[in-house]
Amino acid sequence: MNPSSSSFLFLLVIFLVYSISASAIPVIGDNDVDEGFDPSKKLEGDKDNNNEFTLKVPTLELDDLPLDDLLSFNYYHKRCPDFEAIINRKVHEWINKDYTLAPSLLRLHFHDCFGRGCDASILLNHEGSERTAAASKTLRGFEVIDDIKAELENKCPKTVSCTDILSATTRDATVALGGPYWSLPYGRKDSRISIAKDADELVPMGHENVTSLLEFFQSKGLNVLDLVVLSGAHTIGRTSCESIQYRLYNYKGTGKPDSSIDAKYLNFLQRKCRWGSDYVDLDATTPRKFDNMYYKNLEKKMGLLSTDQLLYSDPRTSPIVGALADTPSVFKSQFGVSMARLADVQILSGKGEGEIRTNCNYVNSY
């Protein structure tokens, strides 16, 4: 049997399962009806019977779509109508000046969601916060979020959470480099807590085995398809040489380089990374384009992080790598689905949970 067609079938099956599960996400986070701004409130029954589910019945707001996700996806339509337009314009301004900010924003979002959860805890800038952790050392893009936040505070004071800004900014930055668009349910709140240890313990750094990666992802409610698909974010961006140095000369105490690196590529990396302070593209072939080349590189032993290359050799992940390498369109559509799932990790949205920061760097003081 042709291995690539069997892996494609395998992917199709999980793809279907995921499409179903993904469509269920927004319902979970739908509790923005407490806030009093939403026109659907007029359909609300007796407030005291506290039957929140009646609020989720599709309303008669026919100008708003899609019906089943009405409350979350429309969260800012009345509260801050230009929310997405402002973000989109700012993202383009910044990316046009420096496209490397796009991958950095994508990584920032990932680190935020894997630290405590998607709650903008990564943005808090105080002693001992996630942002000060070793795992956060090379994170960038904070100034983009600050700039967007300032503009939004100007237009819609105390309305748009830093968490929603970070997710939407990441999405638009991905689209700007040729990646997919995905819809985001809004209304998530910002945390008042951020602890460096969370970042160092919960964010994988590239030295892990696949079992351990799967455990990291599973602990966030994500699984093997999300792992392989989201690792495809490494189709853009770069790593510090420091992060891969250990593969190049004395891998795991063998006195030799990691044998899973292509010989020519290894030679290139050794020259490129003579100085630990340098950077190297994660996707050796098309570093500026959001495409599926990342997976094709893995097939050529040109994965830059060992966690990338291992996805190709581990039997739990290799069929998915093969399928994504063969079908760029599946990678793009599934990347959007998995990113929306990532944005839903451990969010703060219940009554009294979190706050809407006025400055993403600091919690509000009262």
Ligand X SMILES: *[C@@H]1O[C@H](CO)[C@@H](O)[C@H](O)[C@H]1NC(C)=O
Residues that bind ligand HEM (CB under 6 A): 100, 103-104, 106-107, 110, 138, 140, 204-206, 213, 227, 230-231, 233-234, 236-240, 243, 282, 305, 307
126 is catalytic: no
Q: Which is nearer to ligand HEM, 71 or 305 (CB)?
A: 305
Tell me the window of 13-21, 102-110, 207-215, 283-291 that interacts with ligand X (CB under 6 A).
207-215
Rounded Cα distance between 106 and 169, Å, is 9
Q: Tell whether residue 96 is a contact of ligand X (CB under 6 A).
A: no
Catalytic-labelled residue, pool 92, 109, 111, 126: 111
Measured from the CB of residue 117, what is the shortest distance to ligand HEM in angstroms? Answer: 14
- Taking CA atoms, 47 is separated from 36, 246, 352, in Å, by 12, 60, 18
Rounded Cα distance between 159 and 117, Å, is 20
Residue 180 marked ligand-binding = no
Tell me the window of 143-151, 204-212, 266-274, 286-294 that interacts with ligand X (CB under 6 A).
204-212
Residue 283 marked ligand-binding = yes
Tokens representing 109?
């979002």
Q: CA 214: distance to chain centroid? A: 16
Rounded Cα distance between 133 and 199, Å, is 6
98 CB neighbour count, 10 Å cutoff? 12
Residue 130 marked ligand-binding = yes
**Residue choice 211, 250, 254, 364 for contact with ligand X (CB under 6 A):** 211
In DSSP terms, 355 is beta-bridged to: 190
Buried b (16+ CB within 10 A) or exposed e, 316-342: ebbbbbbbbbbbeebbbbbbbbbbbbb
Residue 68 marked ligand-binding = no
Size, binding site for ligand X by CB under 6 A: 3
In DSSP terms, 359 is beta-bridged to: 362
67 CB neighbour count, 10 Å cutoff? 12
Q: Tell whether residue 219 is a contact of ligand X (CB under 6 A).
A: no
Give me the residues that bind ligand X (CB under 6 A), please: 209, 211-212
Give binding residues as ranges: 112, 117, 119, 121, 130, 204, 234-235, 283, 286, 291
Give binding residues for Ca(2+) as ranges: 112, 117, 119, 121, 130, 235, 283, 286, 291
What positions carry a catalytic annotation?
111
Give binding residues for heme b as ranges: 234
